[in-house]
Structure 1
Amino acid sequence: MSTLPYRFAGGTVALAALLAFAPLHASAATHLDTRAFSFDSATPGRADTLIADGSGATTISLLGAHDMLKYDASYEYWDRKVYQGVFQLNLHAGYKITGYSLMGTFSGERYVGQFPAGANLDIMPVNWATAHASADVAIRADLPATGGMIAPRSHAELNLNGTDGFTLDSGPLDHAGPLNLYVEGNAYAEATDAEWWYVNYGYFGRDTSRARIELSGPLLLTVYTQAVPEPHTYALTLAGLALISGALRRRRRLARNGARTDFSLKG
């Protein structure tokens, strides 16, 4: 895992711009009401969906990231695929955010074409093979009420063969105001085949290279929250503690008075 130098636009402005131009950029605007907060987003691809909400954890599936962060050099030859999601969280009264995480799995394939080997082969190389695939994802947050921010967490892949899961965690938070989250990623692959000329036989040979990188499924954004007692709850708690403390003092005083009375009678 590494921290990459991502640049994110300002939260409210970026969200408003993405929502305003959603049809032009084939973006999906999402509004969700969860137990602890409201969630508004603008992301490429399909709309984000709520998949779990309870026990202090709310998990949202970022389907657009799965749509965008994939590249197969076998049939794609243009610029890298880019994903950027902007998410605005507004807490309901009585809750605070204690952290967030972004979880996903990349899968990839890479094979570099090879020239044939053999003492009896007389070949002339025509094209040397290459294969490359890379992808990365990052998440960060800013705190509109205070002007603060939470540093990016990121994960990168290079020439992956197989699968690799990752979790980007904010660490513990104690935040009771609005929160803007930004998720950004990109994917790219390229491949060229190994090609040669059989000098003795007079024809071309080829070994196809392969390069592919993609998210195996949606990114899962989980926001952790905790209920915060209202001020009147604190007042009632303090009043209850005061009553209990008073009762204990009276009990100890009566016990001491009873002990002194008993002692005087014995004397």
Structure 2
Amino acid sequence: MFGTVYVGRSPDGFGRPGGADTSAGIMSRAQDAVTGETLAQHGWSGANLQGNADFSFNSGVLNRTGAFNIAFDGYAYGQASPAIWTTYEPEIGAVKHYDFSRAEVGLKDPLLLTVYTEALAVAVPEPHAFVLTLTGLALLAGMARRRKHPVRAAAHASLS
């Protein structure tokens, strides 16, 4: 957010003083898309902003596999009234003077939403694990083949 406040003043301090103030606030909410359950909620507010005021929201860990919605709501308010004083000019008479106050508040930059995700650790087998697995499968296939054809295995044994 950014804001500026300038309060008008008369040069001698007499007359009606000026006034100015600002306020702004932002709320964020994460909700489950199906149930509407609130997963995280945060707020920020500032008043009489002079310059920039940064804010960020951290939902913490959202351990969700389903869809969820993130919503942002906000407000900005600025109000100003001038300082007014009167002087007397001999040729003209009473002259009213004004020093206008200013109040401005708004978004400094476009709102940027960044979502950080955590990658799941996936085990990647070492090459020798593949060799051992294939060797074991080949031995099992050979044993299954021998059991399927016991006569051939016996004839083979008697010939040798």
- TM superposition score category, shorter chain reference: 0.5 to 0.7
TM-score scaled by structure 1? Answer: 0.42
Equivalent of 1:116, from 3, 8, 11?
11
- 1:150 matches 2:150: no
Partner of 2:52: 163
Unmatched segments (≥5 aa) in structure 1: 1-105, 245-267
TM-score scaled by structure 2? Answer: 0.67
Write the distance in 2 (CA, Å) between the matches of 1:217 and 1:209. 25
Please show how residues 117-196 of structure 1 align to structure 2 within 5 Å: 117=12, 125=15, 127-145=16-34, 147-196=36-85
Q: Percent identity?
A: 35
Partner of 1:17: none
Partner of 1:216: 108
| Contact 2:39-2:62 at 8 Å conserved across structures | no
Q: How many residue pairs are counted as aligned between the two chains? A: 125
Please show how residues 15-34 of structure 1 align to structure 2 within 5 Å: none
Partner of 1:250: none
Alpha-carbon spacing, 1:145–1:199, altered in 2? closer, same or farther (3 Å)? same
String of CA shifts for 1:207-266, please: whole Å, max 9, x gaps: 11010011110111111223447xxx78x9xxx7xx89xxxxxxxxxxxxxxxxxxxxxx
String of CA shifts for 1:46-67, please: whole Å, max 9, x gaps: xxxxxxxxxxxxxxxxxxxxxx
Write the distance in 2 (CA, Å) between the matches of 1:151 and 1:228. 22
Aligned-pair RMSD on alpha carbons? Answer: 2.8
- Report the structure, 1 or 2, having the larger strand content: 1
Write the distance in 2 (CA, Å) between the matches of 1:147 and 1:214. 30
Letter in 1 for 2:59: S
Write the distance in 2 (CA, Å) between the matches of 1:191 and 1:178. 44
Write the distance in 1 (CA, Å) between the matches of 2:35 and 2:120. 20
String of CA shifts for 1:68-101, please: whole Å, max 9, x gaps: xxxxxxxxxxxxxxxxxxxxxxxxxxxxxxxxxx
| Contact 2:83-2:101 at 8 Å conserved across structures | yes
Write the distance in 1 (CA, Å) between the matches of 2:44 and 2:63. 25
Write the distance in 2 (CA, Å) between the matches of 1:221 and 1:110. 28
- Larger-gyration structure (1/2): 2
Alpha-carbon spacing, 1:218–1:137, altered in 2? closer, same or farther (3 Å)? same
